């Protein structure tokens, strides 16, 4: 039987069932982004994201243990390869950095839930999110590589894949590829409503993914547009997305709210690197109460309609929830 919509994908285990509950704010809804890179004995702080690090695979378990102890049960992995090329081949290499990190992490911390970012930008020599034709990103030629990347992640142990490239049709391509290869139960969390945003600056520093020319405005969305965001969300759900994400979070509560009301799938919000960096910088200067700002930002996203919150402050929020300072 060929089924595109499979609500049971989101009921597969306790971590996932808690993640997608419709009304609550607790530690099970938090996802922590993690950067993993080639090499050994690496735990290097990201200059523009104080308190965030790039980890080699041998150092990753120390951070996973800290997350588990804090009560954060879900992580999103971003890979930083040693070598990049025009086709971003490290993204779908079975021995790529994310694939190796997944196998190691699943072995040492099998109870954590592993989500992988599916994109090409960290792996291409030009820094764009797909295959180039001259100076243009070729949408349709990129789809097969994204599907191949997602499949390689799942085969390495990913519990969920999250395409962030903003190519048209990529959710459908990934869903078909996973289903054909026996992974009908693997959920897709789509970066469906992803704007071309200045809030991403520190991430591009962290992942080394800034484009070498031009920008991403031909595939990421114009931040003036609201109806387009709704269209993107509905299209991705039709193609088989199980969870819809709005990114960034802070400036887009209107989209979180409207899309969560108009759709019947769980809603995620990604509090991105720029949001994190601004809080840390202002806190360092003594201009804000960091803890209160972290909590207020999180509550705002949940209040707007998010059920899942992807944030670099996941450990702090888990602590605040444990202590009853937020909930």
Q: Is the dihedral of CA 106, 125, 177, 20 positive or negative?
A: positive
CA-atom Rg of the chain in angstroms:
18
Element at 310 (helix H, strand E): strand 308-311
Residue numbers annotated as active site: 194, 247
- Residues 6+ away with beta carbon under 8 Å from 56: 36, 37, 38, 39, 40, 41, 42, 43
Q: Where are the beta strands (DSSP E) in 104-165?
A: 113-118, 132-133, 136-137, 160-163
Element at 68 (helix H, strand E): helix 60-70
Task: State the Cα angle at 158 between 155 and 163, rounded to 5°.
Answer: 105
Distance, in Å, from the CA atom of 60 to the CA atom of 75, rounded to the nearest integer, reads 12
3-state secondary structure of 57: coil
Tokens representing 205 are: 């520093």
- Residues 6+ away with beta carbon under 8 Å from 242: 6, 9, 10, 187, 188, 189, 265, 266
3-state secondary structure of 47: coil
For residue 32, how many C-alpha atoms fall within 13 Å in the half-sphere facing its CB? 26
Q: Is the dihedral of CA 7, 11, 15, 21 positive or negative?
A: positive
Instruction: Return the number of other C-beta atoms located less than 10 Å from residue 184's C-beta.
Output: 15
Provide DSSP, 3-32: -S--GGGGGSSHHHHHHT-SS--SGGGEEE
């Amino acid at each position: 039987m060929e089924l595109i919509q499979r609500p049971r994908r989101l009921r597969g285990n306790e971590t996932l069932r808690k993640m997608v509950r419709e009304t609550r704010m607790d530690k099970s809804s938090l996802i922590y982004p993690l950067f993993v890179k080639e090499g050994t004995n690496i735990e290097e702080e990201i200059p523009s994201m104080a308190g965030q690090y790039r980890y080699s695979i041998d150092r990753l378990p120390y951070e996973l243990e800290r997350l588990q102890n804090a009560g954060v049960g879900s992580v999103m992995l971003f890979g930083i390869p040693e070598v990049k090329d025009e086709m971003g081949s490290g993204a779908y290499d079975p021995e790529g950095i994310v694939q190796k990190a997944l196998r190691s992490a699943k072995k040492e911390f099998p109870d954590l839930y592993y989500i992988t970012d599916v994109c090409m930008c960290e792996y291409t020599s030009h820094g764009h999110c797909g295959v180039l034709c001259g100076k243009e990103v070729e949408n349709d030629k990129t789809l097969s590589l994204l599907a191949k990347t997602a499949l390689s992640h799942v085969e390495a142990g990913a519990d969920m894949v999250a395409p962030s490239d903003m190519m048209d049709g990529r959710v459908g391509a990934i869903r078909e590829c996973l289903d054909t290869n026996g992974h009908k139960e693997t959920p897709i969390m789509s970066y469906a409503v992803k704007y071309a945003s200045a809030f991403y600056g520190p991430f591009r520093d962290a992942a080394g993914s800034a484009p070498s020319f031009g920008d991403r405005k031909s595939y990421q969305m114009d931040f003036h547009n609201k109806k387009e965001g709704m269209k993107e969300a509905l299209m991705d759900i039709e193609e088989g997305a199980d969870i819809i994400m709005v990114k960034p979070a802070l400036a887009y509560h209107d989209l979180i709210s409207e899309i969560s009301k108009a759709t019947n799938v769980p809603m995620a919000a990604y509090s991105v690197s720029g949001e994190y960096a601004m809080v840390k910088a202002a806190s360092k200067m003594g201009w804000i109460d960091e803890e209160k700002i972290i909590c207020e930002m999180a509550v705002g996203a949940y209040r707007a309609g998010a059920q899942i919150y992807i944030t670099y402050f996941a450990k702090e929020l888990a602590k605040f929830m444990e202590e009853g300072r937020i909930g």
